[in-house]
Structure 1
């Protein structure tokens, strides 16, 4: 049984990132990462945004952050690693500070190691 969500994962929706590329492997990695949370009984929600202009990214991320208290917020590599996304990365970090100031911020290496990134910061007591 998975507990109430304690972790929010903010990342890019691989199907809404423009360019000539195959989003399938990234989507598979994201699902594997989410499956790890379930296997460990840790509640998680995702906030995947598009770069295709279909989202007001600041509004979508703000709403997700404000929806509940988060113990950990993981910011995905698609937002962090691209020079073109440095402004988005700054925006996301500042939104976390504003809407979830008590949350730890974690960074994954790959989509499928997202649980490991969050686990570094999860308290052992889910009520903590």
Structure 2
């Protein structure tokens, strides 16, 4: 079984599809398991298209025709590193284009505490994903009402989206 397959199976993905480290969690080395998370740790949840479906030609991306899976993965890796320097944990909820994407997001949000939820441009800006984007917003509002929602415009702008809202403004 590939490294990280337990996390992938727990999130409803087929572990046989993974040949690389898990794409679903970027956990600091001091944390072995997301279930041990202290609610006071600050966490960003990034919701976006799984890099493995970005290069899928069916349906082609209207919003990002030249973005590759390698660019998306590099953006996730760079974001995890940069947010760690800001004292923030980074988790991802990687979706495909199937009807199961909505329920996967609901399960992740219902079982975690997130200070910030970033919804990626691959979902938000892609015309064919508008209905899923609307569902994600409503699920986040219902299951994580204390989370700040923000949006990136591509795999290299997630940190910018988080910085618009972190650190939180101080009450007067």
The bucket for the TM-score relative to the shorter chain is: 0.7 to 0.9
- Contact residue 31 and residue 112 of structure 1 kept, 8 A: no
| 1:121 is the counterpart of 2:162 | no
- Contact residue 72 and residue 155 of structure 2 kept, 8 A: yes
Q: Spell out the pairing of 1:1-128 with structure 2 (5 A cutoff).
A: 4-17=41-54, 18-19=56-57, 22-51=68-97, 53=98, 56-123=100-167
> CA RMSD for the aligned pairs?
2.3
TM value normalised by structure 2: 0.63
Higher relative contact order (CA 8 A, sep 6+): 1
Normalized per residue, the structure richer in strand is 1
What does the per-residue CA deviation read over 1:99-125, in whole Å, with 9 as the maximum and x for residues that have no partner? Answer: 111111001122222122112223459
- Contact residue 12 and residue 48 of structure 1 kept, 8 A: yes
Tell me the SS of whatever aligns to 2:162: helix
Normalized per residue, the structure richer in helix is 1
Runs of at least 5 residues in structure 1 that lack an aligned partner in the other structure: none
Distance 2:53 2:153 in 1: 21
What number of residue pairs does the alignment pair up? 122
TM value normalised by structure 1: 0.82
